[in-house]
Amino acid sequence: MIIAVILLILALLGAPLFSIIGGSALWGFHSEEINLQVVTIEIYRLAEMPVLLAIPLFTFAGYLLGESQAPARMVRMAHALLGWMPGGLAIVALTACAFFTAFTGASGVTIVALGALLYPALQQAGYPERFNLGLITTSGSLGLLFAPSLPLILYGVIAQQASLDTPVNIDDLFLAGILPGLLMVILLSGWSMWKQPKGQLTTKLDGREIFAAIRESIWEIPLPFLVLGGIYGGYIAVSEAAAVTAVYVLIVEVFIKREVKLRELPVIIRESMVLVGAILLILGVSLASTNYMIDADIPTRLFETIRAHIDNKWTFLIALNIFLLVLGMMLDIFSALIIIIPIILPIAAGYGIHPVHLGIVFLANMQLGYFTPPVGMNLFIASYRFNKPVMELYIATLPFFFILLFAVLVITYFPSLSLVFLGP
């Protein structure tokens, strides 16, 4: 107990999370008098999960895309195709961000890469500044629920370790995210139409511009079809899709479009692998701590304690929503997944919650946590990027927060939204 308190204080003081989790695993095994070499064996399991290959490959591809002109081309194309609608430009922003985040995994890259393009464009179209700030900051985590987003894959990896009665398939997660993700995009689009500045001229549908935009993006357009078609069609596994994406993006951006120079490649690789390393390190040590927790029956005991107070699934889901919202403000999505999922997955299963539904609920909540005041990460990234006080961003994101909170509640209490495409 004292150890747990010390670890908690250290974590709050900013100790690297891997050391907290690793420390708790070491302490746990030590007090059970188990040889600490077991920690090495657990970390080595990182080399025994085929699907993990997808993480470095997708991250690399995402960083590479972010460094190229692909975001600008994507915005142009979205504008040509959607700009004519009421609230068109805002919807362009939402669509582009959701799409980009799905491929880059919501590590704040979206705000940095797309914000610079979309913010001035929105400003020019006459949207109020506060609306623009709120929209861009919110969109920075939109798209988490769409394949092939990294958090979805990571959830699948972790859930597979839990060996539940209902196996969790990553392809199922990709299917489950579609409707909840669309719900969020649609609700935010509706709000944008409502907030459209009066007398704003929407751009006309221009065949020539559409043609030019498509021609410019001709190399990137096949990418989603390649990846999503391959996975949803059952032709390739997730890690294979990641390999195809990495090769494709590498060839297009470096050798065909030549927007990323060969000598810039090492830095891009290094920066993307720093993120991958930080995630995998936490995952590695948490395999050890999870193993210890399951040995010590901690999830079961927690479940019994919780069940003494919460007797049904719905009350549990409300408590879960609140808990995850607070968690999402404090932890980034990757560590939250790695640390919390092994604990709550068995508990949720005890309440009869489908593990795939739990995953979608978890990620939807985390998405909200990205911009929940006072400490959501994207608030600070946007504050830094647009040079605005964080306080202004709190106010700017507030309406968006309530809209997505509503979406999260719908996603939580209507499991069929997530599970409708899954087989029986």
Partner 1 sequence: MLQRGVKILHNIEDSLLVIILLAMVTLAFSQIVMRNFFGSGTIWLDPLLRVLVLWVGLLGALVATRQDKQISVDVLTRILSEKLKVISNIITRSFAAIVSAIIAWHSFLFLIDEWHSGVTAFASVPAWLTESIIPFGFAVIALRYTFQVIVLLIKVVKGAPDQ
Q: Is residue 270 part of the contact set for partner 1 (CB under 8 A)?
A: yes
Task: Please tell me whether residue 306 binds partner 1 under the rule CB under 8 A.
Answer: no
Which phi and psi angles does 310 have, rounded to 5°?
-115, 115
Using CB under 8 A, count the residues that bind partner 1.
64
Residue 16 found at the interface with partner 1 (CB under 8 A): yes
Question: Collapsing DSSP states into helix, strand and coil, what is residue 419?
Answer: helix
Residues 221 and 229: their CA atoms lie apart, in Å, by 13
Report the residue from 239, 289, 372, 412 that binds partner 1 according to the rule CB under 8 A: 239
Binding region for partner 1 (CB under 8 A) out of 128-136, 210-218, 220-228, 274-282 = 274-282
Burial class of residue 226, CB neighbours in 10 A (0-12, 13-18, 19+): middle
CA distance 125 to 94: 15
Smallest separation, CB 230 to partner 1 (Å): 10
What is the C-alpha to C-alpha distance for residues 115 and 102, in angstroms, rounded to an integer? Answer: 16
Residue (of 171, 173, 135, 166) closest to 399 by Cα position: 135
Contact flag: residue 228 with partner 1 (CB under 8 A)? no
Nearer to partner 1, 329 or 393 (CB): 329
Q: Does 416 bind partner 1 (CB under 8 A)?
A: no
Site for partner 1 in 68-107 (CB under 8 A): none
Cα(37)–Cα(342) distance, rounded to whole angstroms?
22
Distance CA 73, CA 129 (A): 24
Residue 17 sits in the site that holds partner 1 (CB under 8 A): yes
Binding to partner 1 by residue 33, rule CB under 8 A? Answer: no
Among residues 173, 138, 146, 180, which one has the least CA distance to residue 159?
Answer: 173
Looking at beta carbons only, is 273 or 398 nearer to partner 1? 273
Residue of 116, 121, 214, 250 that binds partner 1 (CB under 8 A): 250
Q: For residue 275, state whether it binds partner 1 (rule: CB under 8 A).
A: yes
In SS3 terms, 85-117 reads as CCCHHHHHHHHHHHHHHHHHCCCCHHHHHHHHH
Confirm or reject binding of residue 123 to partner 1 (CB under 8 A). no
Distance CA 155, CA 161 (A): 10
Per-residue x/- mask for partner 1, residues 184 to 203, rule CB under 8 A? --------------------
- Among 3, 4, 41, 395, indicate the residue that binds partner 1 (CB under 8 A): 41
Residues at the site binding partner 1, with contacts judged by CB under 8 A: 10-19, 22-23, 26, 35-37, 39-41, 43-44, 46-50, 52-53, 55-57, 60, 236, 239-240, 242-244, 246-247, 250, 265-266, 269-270, 273-282, 284-285, 329-332, 334-335, 375
